[in-house]
Chains A and B, each alone.
Chain A
Amino acid sequence: MNGFKKITNKMAPCLAIVVLLIAWSLISYLEIIPRFMLPSPLDVVRAFINDFDLLMHHAKVTLLEALLGLGIGVVLGFIVAVIMDQFQIVARAIYPILIISQTIPTVAIAPLLVLWMGYGILPKVVLVVITTFFPITIGLLSGFASADPDGINLMKAMGASTLQRFAHIKLPSALSSFFGALKISASYSVVGAVISEWLGGFDGLGVYMTRVRKSFSFDKMFAVILFISIISLLLMLGVTLLQKALMPWDRKKNN
């Protein structure tokens, strides 16, 4: 019974996706929505295969922007979080600014960035940094704060330096919320790169998306959306694997 339950639990999401695909196909084949506007799943797959080389070429550019931005965002977020954690006065001073900065929609800043920095890779990377930096900072901050004060006291009694306390208590305590934040930031990074490409550029999935939209090739449009989702999922999977490798204690807990 238990094994059966396990299988049904795993099957449930697959089944939901299959039902969704069937419904989509039916709507498309029966032309409830005209087929050129809503291509069937099969059309999308066909478009994906036909344009595979082109998609890969653009994906490379987008992925480079996303990873570069994410990397810089993580480093920057880490530095800011550490400074805010160490100096309460800094935390008080910049916390409101951080929050307000997040209420400004990305789509609104993107054209400005293009205006200031041109059509190259720079405005794209900057936009990704802006979107990924915030979750990392907040995640790390709450992670640092979750460090057991008694543990810190114990380390103090042992004569540990600030750096040692950081390395042995604060940092490991923050890992779990850091990885939670990194998952969010990883998926934001791809979306951020694509949005900034919409507003101008020569390569990238966002540029490709704008082109196929203008030529009304909705099958290709869906193909690229699907592709972006897959890339985001793969990035999140990468983060999960990294987390498992770096936090072995999490796995052994329940054995």
Chain B
Amino acid sequence: MDKLTCNNITASYDGVKIIEDINIELNQGELVSLLGVSGVGKTTLFQVISGLLKPDSGRVMLDGVDITGEAGSVSYMLQKDLLFHYKTILDNVALPLEIKGLKKKEARDIASSYFKEFGLDGSQHKYPDQLSGGMRQRAALLRTYLFSNQVALLDEPFSALDTITKSSIHEWYLNVMDQIKLSTIFITHDIDEAIFLSDRIYIMGGKPGRIIDEIKVSIARPRDKEFLLTSEFLEYKRNIIRKLN
């Protein structure tokens, strides 16, 4: 069954139509990418799904319930890790639980039970400035997950990382996602990243932005780095480049 669907979404920003008639769906446990050039409206679509921006028309449904324009149902991770420098990692991660109304201590207890699984053990009482980029992204992902364990919207979460850290965090993310049964929509303009991570890829293009194609990546997970070197991978890549142009 569809976990999340966007039906005929059109949205504007400052009176300019940014995205038009977007239809996408996300199944339980699936990772779907939105791929497209900068300015095509990927982030705008995320703002609609997360409830920060009301669409001109169209509906966002989560588990069959209309959540259009309602913040607080799906979790949203922005381009920057946005960990607050004045909070310890534990308090940063526990923040969404506190917002939901849990007491500070309860929130901390729940949050710290996930540190091991997310490879963050030992960093509970450190501040974000004391952590490496990769560790910060993990903490931000854990925070995203604790906010909603159903659907995560990730807006180019790994774009600031160096190539080596990036590829190891990709493998880690697929792994952790399978364990915690998370469904993810992922924004990227990195074609390799999209193919490596996704079950399906929506290609966006045009002005206002529309979904111009959908590509299924039928390679079973877990995938490893070898996949990046196969001819199948290159075939996907060739296909996508052609469509983007």
Contact = CB atoms under 8 A, between A and B. Distances in A.
A253 B127 CA distance: 8
A213 interface: no
Interface in A213-255: 247, 249, 252-253, 255
Nearest to B79: A150
Interface stretch (A51-59, A75-83, A129-137, A153-161): A153-161
Contacts of A253: 85, 127, 129-130
A157 B127 contact: no
A155 B71 CA distance: 10
Interface string B154-182: 00000000000000000000000000000
Nearest to B91: A168
B212 to A, nearest CB: 27
Contacts of B130: 252-253, 255
B84 interface: yes
Nearest to B146: A158
Give the contact-size bracket for chain B.
Answer: 20 to 34
B78 A158 contact: no
A249 B99 contact: no
Interface string A111-154: 00000000000000000000000000000000000001011011
A224 B222 CA distance: 77
Nearest to A176: B86
B4 to A, nearest CB: 15
Nearest to A251: B127
Contacts of B71: 156-159
Interface in A160-212: 160, 164, 168-169, 172-173, 175
Contact of B76 (A154, A160, A164, A173): A154
B82 A172 contact: no
Contacts of A173: 86
B52 A153 contact: yes
Contacts of B78: 150, 153-154
A172 B76 contact: no
A148 B82 contact: yes
Interface string B51-75: 1100000000000000000011001
Interface string A56-93: 00000000000000000000000000000000000000
Interface of B: 50-52, 71-72, 75-76, 78, 80, 82, 84-88, 95-96, 98-100, 126-127, 129-130, 147
Interface of A: 148, 150-151, 153-160, 164, 168-169, 172-173, 175, 247, 249, 252-253, 255
